[in-house]
């Protein structure tokens, strides 16, 4: 692999090309998908950055001048990604957290050998209060024979992902992705319209600092989940207490813990027996990234990347972050040492 430091100026395009060169058999299709996602991310970041101005500009001749309802940002993000991706000839099907079923490639466009699954704007309820939101994506290879992608292509376990990543629209916009050769982060420079390599080969710290969990659900948790949380807080066992940080925007919570070390938990509870987060759009892509960064992810008993999906919008409990913390979740919830 070509070595870069955070001080060399490397665009995401150049980095993707350099990674592709490591595989002489690569056709460039996967690289094309990543470029198109980066393009969609630039369009979404422009819109997100103006979110707080919509009312002001609408009243003075901006977006809302014809009295049209301002499009919700999650709908905009969904449509932007579909439009950026559906005609490139690289995908055979898509699925989005915002759409009930398969998103086919329109008639007349060539179908490729990959499928894209995405959450266009995760945590979108946070937009109104100026809290970071994100886009999450996952790419799998087509396994059925026909030209068009089918449900079977989309319902593959996470270990079959060939690429995954997220974009965080935070104090700056960052794109983090993996193709199985480490996890790499790029920061968007709006003045030149480029994502620049800022975090090569991210490794999650082994001395975790943060616990991210919504403990308003404590009354709904099983005893073993309560016990796990006491261990993370240093109230049971002999572990050092973690600091609690919870944004309520998965990408933001995950990103902080990836860089600072820690664990994000969304356990099952009595009202949500499968937790809240979606296996295909949220858990799988972030699990691929965290494993590439030396961390782990499980649903309490099973490694996330080994779960067999049965439906597009399937939910899963999620424990994700530094390896030792996720292993503790596995030991406490499944009663055996983790193998993830």
DSSP helix/strand/coil, 299: coil
Among 20, 74, 98, 122, the residue binding Mg ion under the rule CB under 5 A is: 122
Q: Is 32 in the site for ligand AHM (CB under 6 A)?
A: no
Q: Count residues contacting Mg ion (CB under 5 A)?
A: 2
Q: Which is nearer to ligand AHM, 146 or 248 (CB)?
A: 248
Choices 80-88, 111-119, 142-150, 291-299; region in contact with Mg ion by CB under 5 A: 111-119
| Sign, Cα dihedral of 303, 132, 119, 44 | negative
Residue 74 interacts with Mg ion (CB under 5 A): yes or no? no
| Per-residue buried b or exposed e for 200-239, using 16+ beta carbons within 10 Å of the residue's own CB | bebebbeebebbbbeeebeeebeeebeebbebbbeeeeeb
Give the Cα separation of 141 and 101 in Å (integer).
Answer: 18
The region of 6-14, 159-167, 244-252, 283-291 touching ligand AHM under the rule CB under 6 A is 244-252
- To the nearest whole angstrom, how small is the minimum distance from the Cβ of residue 176 to ligand AHM? 16
314 in contact with ligand AHM (CB under 6 A): no
Q: How far is the CB of 80 from Mg ion (least distance, A)?
A: 16
CB closer to ligand AHM out of 112 and 123: 123
CA dist 282 and 32 (Å) reads: 22
Looking at the DSSP bridge assignments, the partners of residue 85 are none
Is residue 170 at the binding interface for ligand AHM, with CB under 6 A as the rule? no
Per-residue x/- track, 187-216, ligand AHM (CB under 6 A): ---------------------------x--
The separation between CA 87 and the C-alpha centre of its own chain, rounded to angstroms, equals: 23
Is the Cβ of residue 122 or residue 194 nearer to ligand AHM in the bound state?
A: 122
Instruction: Report yes or no: 213 and 320 within 8 Å, Cβ to Cβ.
Output: no
DSSP 200: T
Among residues 156, 114, 161, 178, the alpha carbon closest in space to that of 307 is found at 156
Binding residues vs ligand AHM (CB under 6 A): 122-124, 214, 248-250, 276
The binding site for Mg ion (CB under 5 A) comprises 119, 122
């Amino acid at each position: 692999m070509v070595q870069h430091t955070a001080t060399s100026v490397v665009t995401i395009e150049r980095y993707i090309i350099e990674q592709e060169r490591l595989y002489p058999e690569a056709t460039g299709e996967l690289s094309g998908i990543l470029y198109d996602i980066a393009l969609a991310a630039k369009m979404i970041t422009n819109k997100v950055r103006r979110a707080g101005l919509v009312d002001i500009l609408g009243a003075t001749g901006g977006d809302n001048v014809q009295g049209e309802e301002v499009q919700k940002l999650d709908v905009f993000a969904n449509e932007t990604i579909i439009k950026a991706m559906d005609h490139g000839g690289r995908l055979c099907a898509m699925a989005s957290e915002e759409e009930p079923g398969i998103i086919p490639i329109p008639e007349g466009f060539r179908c490729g050998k990959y499928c894209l699954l995405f959450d266009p704007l995760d945590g979108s309820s946070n937009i109104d209060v100026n809290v970071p939101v994100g886009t999450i994506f996952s790419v799998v290879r087509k396994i059925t024979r026909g030209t068009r992608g089918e449900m079977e292509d989309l319902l593959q376990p996470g270990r079959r992902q060939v690429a995954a990543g997220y974009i965080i629209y935070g104090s700056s916009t960052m794109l983090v992705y993996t193709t199985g050769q480490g996890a790499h982060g790029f920061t968007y420079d709006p003045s030149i319209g480029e994502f620049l390599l800022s975090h090569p080969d991210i490794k999650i710290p082994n001395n975790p600092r943060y616990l991210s969990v919504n403990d308003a659900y404590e009354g709904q948790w099983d005893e073993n989940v309560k016990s796990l949380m006491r261990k993370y807080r240093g109230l049971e066992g002999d572990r050092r207490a973690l600091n609690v940080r919870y944004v309520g925007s998965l990408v933001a919570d995950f990103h902080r813990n990836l860089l600072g070390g820690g664990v994000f938990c969304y356990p099952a509870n009595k009202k949500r027996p499968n937790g809240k987060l979606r296996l295909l759009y949220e858990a799988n892509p972030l699990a691929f990234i965290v494993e590439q960064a030396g961390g782990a992810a499980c649903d309490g008993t099973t490694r996330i990347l080994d779960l067999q999906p049965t439906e597009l919008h399937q939910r899963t409990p999620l424990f994700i972050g530094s390896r030792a913390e996720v292993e503790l979740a596995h030991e406490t919830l499944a009663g055996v040492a983790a193998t993830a």
